[in-house]
Structures are given as C-alpha cells and as structure tokens.
Chain A
Amino acid sequence: GQQLNQSPQSMFIQEGEDVSMNCTSSSIFNTWLWYKQDPGEGPVLLIALYKAGELTSNGRLTAQFGITRKDSFLNISASIPSDVGIYFCAGLPNTGNQFYFGTGTSLTVIP
C-alpha cells in the first residue's frame, strides 16, 4: 500500500522559533490534509489542500501542496507552548478512495 514519509520524526525548539515539517509519498496525491493531535484526543484538522502548488494559511500555520503532487509542507511561525503535539499529514492518492496518514512529527516547544 501507499506510504507517507513524514519528517522530522520529532522536533525540540525554543518558543518563538519557526518550524518546518514535510510529508512525501511515492505516488501522486490529489488531496493533502494536516492535523494536530494532543495526547489521548482526536486529531484536529488544521489545513486542507486540493491543488498542486496551493499555499494556504491558518493563522501562524502555512501549508503547501507540492508541485510534483508527491509532497506537502507545513510551517509554523513564531511557535508558542500550545503548539506542542503531534502533527500528522494525510493524503488521498489519485487512484482509490483510501486516505493514508503519515507517521507524525512530535513537536516540543521549550518556553
């Protein structure tokens, strides 16, 4: 099946720093979603992307749909302690109806 490689696996940053993470696939995707999950809770949708090259912001978060359609990027600017959590990418390949999730990036923000 499809695999989404998400990197980095974990990040430890100082409050106020910017964060970048990415998600890559071996095949072309039609849709990319980015989620944040706090421990023991359900993932919360952050940003949805539907077109190659699309750049979408949600507050301090910005995500991009890669032009090759095989990757997506999430940036968080001026991180704050409440940004702590696990960030997942999810994608829908151009064939099939099944969504695939990345392995997650664990973010720790040091005050």
Chain B
Amino acid sequence: DSGVTQTPKHLITATGQRVTLRCSPRSGDLSVYWYQQSLDQGLQFLIQYYNGEERAKGNILERFSAQQFPDLHSELNLSSLELGDSALYFCASSEAATHYEQYFGPGTRLTVT
C-alpha cells in the first residue's frame, strides 16, 4: 500500500459525459501528479500540482482539467468523453516539488462506451 488513495476504482460512462476522478496523496506529500495509461501503453504524464498550484503540464487535452485543493487532495475532470479516453488513470504523490520519488495510487479504470 503506497498510501495514495484514488476513487472510484472503476467508472463506466457514455461518450459525451463528464467524470471526476479523486486522489488523496500520502500524508505529508505536497505534490500530486496525474497519468494516463491506455491498454498496453506506457504512462503518459498529464499534469502536476504542488501545494495547490500547477507546476508542470504534459500532454493533457483541453477537455481535461485538474485542481489541487487546500487539503492537498486533487481531482481530475474529464469532459466530453470519447471512446479513446478509456484508460487507467493514475495519481502519484511526492514529498515536495524537488523530491521526485513518486508513489502511485491503485488507479481508476475508466471505460467509455
């Protein structure tokens, strides 16, 4: 158990819909990262937040957005969902902006039908 929690574990929704994925980092970690992993693919970095502020942005679509709240939990919002958005979405956390050992949550499996 990494100490990072993600909810829900599974999510099935229809094209065009909007969903919110939630992540709670390890106790004491200030950075949260979001990744997308499609079937048999590697991990694609989406976005990083540090202490409530966006720190780095990867290949995140405009239909996707995220935020980190004062209690340090983070949410990833996916809108206008397409079939190709079906994937595992992982959240990871690390101690600080410059301490890069990232600990991953169990992931949310999103299926868009």
Q: Are A99 and B100 in contact (CB under 8 A)?
A: yes
How long is the Cα–Cα vector from A101 to B90 in the complex, in angstroms? 13
Question: Which residues of B line the A interface, CB within 8 A?
Answer: 2, 4, 33, 35, 42-45, 48, 55-59, 88, 90, 92, 97, 100-107, 109
**Residues of A in contact with B, size category:** 20 to 34
Q: Are A33 and B101 in contact (CB under 8 A)?
A: yes
How long is the Cα–Cα vector from A103 to B102 in the complex, in angstroms? 18
How long is the Cα–Cα vector from A103 to B101 in the complex, in angstroms? 19
30 intermolecular pairs with C-beta atoms under 8 Å apart: A1-B59, A31-B100, A40-B107, A40-B109, A42-B2, A42-B106, A43-B43, A43-B90, A43-B104, A44-B104, A45-B101, A45-B103, A48-B100, A48-B101, A88-B43, A90-B43, A90-B102, A96-B56, A97-B48, A97-B55, A97-B56, A98-B45, A98-B48, A98-B58, A99-B33, A99-B45, A99-B100, A100-B45, A101-B44, A101-B45
